[in-house]
Structure 1
Amino acid sequence: MEGSDHRMVSVNGITMHIAEQGPKEGPLVLLLHGFPDLWYTWRHQIGGLSSLGYRAVAPDLRGYGDSESPESLSEYTCLKVVGDLVALLDRVAGDQDKVFLVAHDWGAIIGWFLCLFRPDKIKGFVCLSVPYMPRNPKVKPVQGFKAVFGDDYYICRFQEPGEIEGEIAKADPRRFLRNIFTVRKPGPPILPKDNLFGANQTDLNNELPEWFSKEDLDFYVSKFEKTGFTGGLNYYRAMDLNWELTATWTGAKIQVPVKFITGEFDMVYTTPGIKEYIHGGRFSEDVPNLQEIVVIEDAAHFINQEKPQEVTAHIDDFFTKLQNNNKTM
């Protein structure tokens, strides 16, 4: 992306690719992507935030894009990925003891872990799409998802190494990526084996939405053709291992200031039980410093790409308020 600097950094035993833009002395904003995504999902926010005086840093998380992809499933636990980010901040934050955090999808899950493990590193967190879901000590995540949503729930379908990768290859990775980025079907996301894309298959000849161009799709396709999808899928395959590793944090609450943003058609937000959790008081019980919940109309899951200016404005508004509050303390 024009204006962004790209470089490779060594963190936590791997090599990580980052895109960065903005004044070196500006407040640092760490931007974390999800699945199947890349640093590129933040292309609008990187430019927008840097023009407002922030220094935006967006990595390809381990297993994605131009960052290193370890083979072992155990290399994708929350402890490993948070370790990458702490090491990255040590490399790029300079004399800033705390930074701002923005994250989406799996990046949001990792963001919650970062806030849980190292709240001393985070000034404030703007979370997109995925609310904090505290650890349930009674049931492992995959078992719980299967019991509620069935075997074809997307997280359950992602568990067997190599299986969904083969189905994606057979169905066409371009169609898979296009469908995920542009689908507006409410949740829960279901991937039936006899029809990977569900009832409304994406026709590659159909016009793309205005916010997601052919050049955008080509960029994603080029990167995933190079790396495959296994690295990203391993985050889902490590969910039960994360559950085992985080027993110590059972009942722990998120103490950093948080703003939560989602789209009204987001597949997570429209999954049964999620709206009730977000708006019914339990979310704010688990995140006592939850300061604002924003539901953007006519937007789906990839809200940062679909409504870039609106999302950037929400990010800046929240971080500006936090900085002003700190100045008056």
Structure 2
Amino acid sequence: MAAAEVRHRTVEVASGVRLHVAEAGPEDGPAVLLVHGFPELWYSWRHQMRALAARGFRAVAPDLRGYGDSDAPPGRDSYTVLHLVGDLVALIADVGQPRVFVAAHDWGAAVAWQLCLLRPDLVTAFVALSVEYHPRNPTRSPVQTLRAVCGDGHYICFFQRPSGDDHYIAVCSGLPPMLPFWSSGLPRAALLQSAQGSEGVLSRKPGVAEAEFGRGDIKCLLKKFYGMRKAAPLIIPPGKTLFDSIDSDGTCPAWLSEEDISYYAEKFEKTGFTGGLNYYRCIDLNWELTAPWTGVPIKVPTKFIVGDQDLTYNIPGVKDYIHKGGLKACVPNLEDVVVMEGVAHFINQEKPDEVSDHICGFFSKF
């Protein structure tokens, strides 16, 4: 949407963290909080912001902490689900309406599900894209579950690696010159040196995953990531790197323009990817922190939308869970499940008009 149609401001949330927020639509319209995923930004909702504003809604799309023009606190433990939900609660308070609508994608959906669980009083209705709600397993952590179902090569397990093995040290040390990918702006050589601990392996800063995202031109890497279409979990085989394992040739997806890619690349060149990767690294910590809510259902009225080629939808067992009553049992006010044929993970950008119509139509009921 045209830059003139979007208002930008900064909101201070918990512990002095400042979030960049983009808005569109009448300020007195019903607020819709739009929560992005990885590796994305507020900009991922540009199409829905236009559609919502045209229908009289106030679209509110933050860069989550660690992303874009928002602050990126140092340290993994600043990215727990309690921090992230706290940011959304503070943003809702700043909006000045007692309750808001929420639409969220990917990691944004994971956080928004927890918002609905912990603060249902703040959410009128919710549209979740790509990532369904899974209740807390009282006996096995999420990473343990992923390893059991998909093996240690699953990309989320890969993102957990705070230190590397000899293979990944070799990969990193053999990389071609690259753009800086760490928030300090250090060049590649300094980054690699700072990444190696006393035993010569990658430490938590920057880590194996950051090195993967920094191994080439950032525009090409983002095109490859956004272009994923394989209807299967993303698995990194032994001896392969993350981006070598993605079924994409690195050309720009038809639903993205070079201008869009340039916007994403500019922001991630500045911030790096550690903020977003820390969300993944807190998955098991979140499991520990949310133990008091084990077994609590989510009662917010909800619609779930996913593409049939989405890698998350094709994890073993997920389709049965969604369509055979498991999701409904955990979300009793789940009103609709929409599976969009031929659509992959970045659904709100790949099918902007259809997703906008689903969101606007659902929220207009309330």
TM-score, L = length of structure 2: 0.84
Contact map agreement 2:149 2:316 (CA 8 A) in 1: no
C-alpha distance in 1, partners of 2:29/2:364?
12
Q: State the match for 2:259 in structure 1.
A: 215
1:130-159: CA deviation from partner (whole Å, max 9, x where unpaired): 010000011111122112211210111001
- In 2, Cα distance between equivalents of 1:170 and 1:48: 37
Does structure 1 residue 255 correspond to structure 2 residue 299?
A: yes
Cα distance, 1:201 vs. partner?
5.7
Q: 2:361 aligns with which of 313, 317, 321?
A: 317
Aligned residue pairs, count: 318
**Contact 1:175–1:202 under 8 Å retained in 2:** no
Q: Is the 8 A contact 1:187 1:270 kept in 2?
A: yes
Deviation at 1:217, TM superposition (A): 1.0
Structure 2 residue runs of 5 or longer lacking an equivalent are 163-203
Q: Match for 1:85: what amino acid?
A: L
Using the size of structure 1 for normalisation, the TM-score is 0.94
Larger radius of gyration: 2
> Are 1:17 and 2:2 counterparts?
no
Alignment partner, residue 326 of structure 1: none
**Aligned with residue 7 of structure 2, among 5, 12, 19:** 5
SS at match of 2:215: helix
> Do 2:76 and 2:278's aligned partners in 1 also have CA atoms closer than 8 Å?
yes
2:91 pairs, out of 88, 92, 101, with 88
Cα shift readout 1:163-192 (whole Å, capped 9, x = no counterpart): 111122124433321112111011211134
Give the percent of matched residue pairs that are identical in Structure 1 and Structure 2: 55
Q: Identify the match of residue 183 of structure 1 among 222, 228, 233.
A: 228
Q: Structure 1, residues 97-149: CA drift from partner, whole Å, max 9, x if none?
A: 11100000000000000000000000000000001000001111112211221
Letter of the 2:156 counterpart: I
Mapped partners of 1:106, 1:152: distance in 2: 20
CA contact (8 A) 1:42 1:304 kept: yes
Could you say what secondary structure the match of 1:125 adopts?
strand
Aligned to 2:68: 65
Shift of 1:12: 1.0
1:174-224 CA-partner distances (Å, limit 9, x unpaired): 3321112111011211134523224566444x4x23211111111111111
The residue correspondences of 1:71-220 to structure 2 (distance < 5 A) are 71-92=74-95, 94=96, 96-159=97-160, 160=162, 161=204, 162-192=207-237, 193-198=239-244, 202-204=248-250, 206=251, 208-220=252-264
* Matches of 1:199 and 1:248, distance apart in 2: 38
**3-state SS of 1:170 partner:** coil
Deviations 1:250-283 (A, max 9, x none): 0110000000001111111122111110001010
AA paired with 2:241?
A: N
Distance 1:7 1:298 in 2: 37
- Tell me the amino acid that sits aligned with residue 222 of structure 1: E
Structure 2 distance, partners of 1:168, 1:22, is 35
The structure-2 alpha-carbon separation of the partners of 1:136 and 1:111, relative to structure 1 and needing over 3 Å to count, comes to same
State whether structure 2 residue 243 is matched by structure 1 residue 242: no
Amino acid at match of 2:284: D
Q: Distance in 1 between matches of 2:246 and 2:22?
A: 35
User: Aligned partners of 1:135 and 1:202: how far apart in 2?
Assistant: 33
Distance, in Å, in 2 between the alignment partners of 1:253 and 1:278 is 15
Are 2:229 and 2:248, in contact at CA under 8 Å, matched by a contact in 1? no
Matched, 1:34 2:37: yes
Letter in 1 for 2:273: F
Aligned-partner Cα distance in 1 for 2:119–2:356: 25
